[in-house]
Amino acid sequence: MDSRATVLRNRLVARARLRHLQVLVRIAELGSVQRAADAIDMSQPAVSHVLADLENLLGCALFHRQARGMRPTAVGAALLPLARRMLATVDDSAELVAALNARASGQVRVAAIAGAMAGLLVRAIPAFGREQPDILVKLQEADVAEQSALVARGDVDLALCRAPQVLPDGWTFTALMADRFAIVAGPRHPLAGKRRASLADLRAATWLASPTATAARAAFDRVFEPPQPVQRQVSTRATAMLWAMLVQEPLLCMVPLTVAQQLLDAGQLVEIRHALALPFEPIGLLQPVTGQGDAARTLAAFLQRYAATLAAG
């Protein structure tokens, strides 16, 4: 760290406040000092003063003042992700202290892919809460790339995913539940009541395309060599949009069974029966080999027992 950075660090440690970060983020999001002031229940002069104080501390402008609003400078834009992360840490700290004050015995931070969330955690976590009401579970949905970043930063205690190609250093993977690809549709689809759809039936149907570079798209391409079935020109990873289109339109979609399981159980989607073999990798638990807290260890053991019960029953 050079001398200028050292001086700046010491100045920030001595004088910076969380309010500085809040003002920076809010002005960037809303593009206006007045709108930021309204959002955080401060006066416009007070927000202007906080921003000026932060810019004075940093020795540079954080926003371009324009007639149509405020736009972050290069420095302001670079600081935004850090400011948001620090504010998120404050939120996490407040939640943890509140839980501990309410006699929580600890917390466990969990990141899960969509399949693990819908196929396992929507049932397992309520059961865990009944068994271990004093453990705070902080759960977030995260794809593979997001999970890798969380693990690398030490921001997660457990991750539910498919077996990574390369295990993070010091972590281990345990398979929990089998999975496969399912062909799903809305309850009113013409194939929904058919005893078994043939390959010709599937080829004649209109499909909702899976995004390129997903495992579901690769499985679809393996089944349907050119010429492929007609595909609706909407490609999204947003499951809410996928389900809405399947319910409203006579479309088919190939997805991991675990991703669709909750809506299949609720009767909002149906699985089209067929004779195709559509295997997929199981979902499992990624956890550190050492240094695991009691809460994380308790949840990991519970998930392994719960998944084994589901597989047996």
Compute the distance between CA of residue 162 and CA of residue 168 in angstroms, rounded to an integer. 13
Question: Is 217 among the domain residues?
Answer: yes
Are 257 and 271 part of one and the same domain?
A: yes
Are 202 and 121 part of one and the same domain?
A: no
Are 268 and 307 part of one and the same domain?
A: no
Compute the distance between CA of residue 311 and CA of residue 290 in angstroms, rounded to an integer. 28
Compute the distance between CA of residue 89 and CA of residue 86 in angstroms, rounded to an integer. 5
204 — phi, psi (to 5°)? -80, -15
pLDDT of residue 108: 93
Q: Write down the pTM of the prediction.
A: 0.68
Are 264 and 297 part of one and the same domain?
A: no
Question: Is 265 among the domain residues?
Answer: yes
Q: DSSP H helical segments within 59-179, as ranges?
A: 74-101, 114-116, 122-131, 144-153
**Mean pLDDT in order along the chain per 10 residues (313 residues):** 68 85 93 92 92 91 89 92 88 71 72 94 95 91 91 93 93 96 95 93 91 86 88 77 90 93 92 94 96 93 95 84
- When divided into structural domains, the chain yields a total of 3
Are 199 and 131 part of one and the same domain?
A: no
pLDDT of residue 2: 46
Question: Is 75 among the domain residues?
Answer: yes
Choosing from 96, 128, 156, the residue where a domain stops is 96
Question: Is 101 among the domain residues?
Answer: no
Are 166 and 194 part of one and the same domain?
A: no
Are 193 and 268 part of one and the same domain?
A: yes
Are 130 and 150 part of one and the same domain?
A: yes
Q: Is residue 47 within 8 Å of residue 63, measured between CB atoms?
A: no
Are 169 and 292 part of one and the same domain?
A: yes
Question: Is 41 among the domain residues?
Answer: yes
pLDDT of residue 99: 61
Choosing from 41, 75, 96, the residue where a domain stops is 96
Compute the distance between CA of residue 183 and CA of residue 192 in angstroms, rounded to an integer. 10
Compute the distance between CA of residue 268 and CA of residue 118 in angstroms, rounded to an integer. 14
Are 144 and 288 part of one and the same domain?
A: yes
| Cis peptide bond upstream of 256, omega within 30 | no
Query: In terms of Cα–Cα distance, which of 36, 21, 19, 22 is closest to 70?
Result: 36
- Domain range for 197 is 179-281
Question: Is 169 among the domain residues?
Answer: yes
pLDDT of residue 1: 42
Choosing from 96, 125, 158, the residue where a domain stops is 96
Which CATH number characterizes residue 123's domain? 3.40.190.10
Question: Is 102 among the domain residues?
Answer: no
Are 30 and 44 part of one and the same domain?
A: yes
Exposed, middle or buried by CB within 10 Å (0-12, 13-18, 19+), for 264?
middle
Which CATH number characterizes residue 32's domain? 1.10.10.10
pLDDT of residue 101: 58
Are 249 and 184 part of one and the same domain?
A: yes
Question: Is 104 among the domain residues?
Answer: no
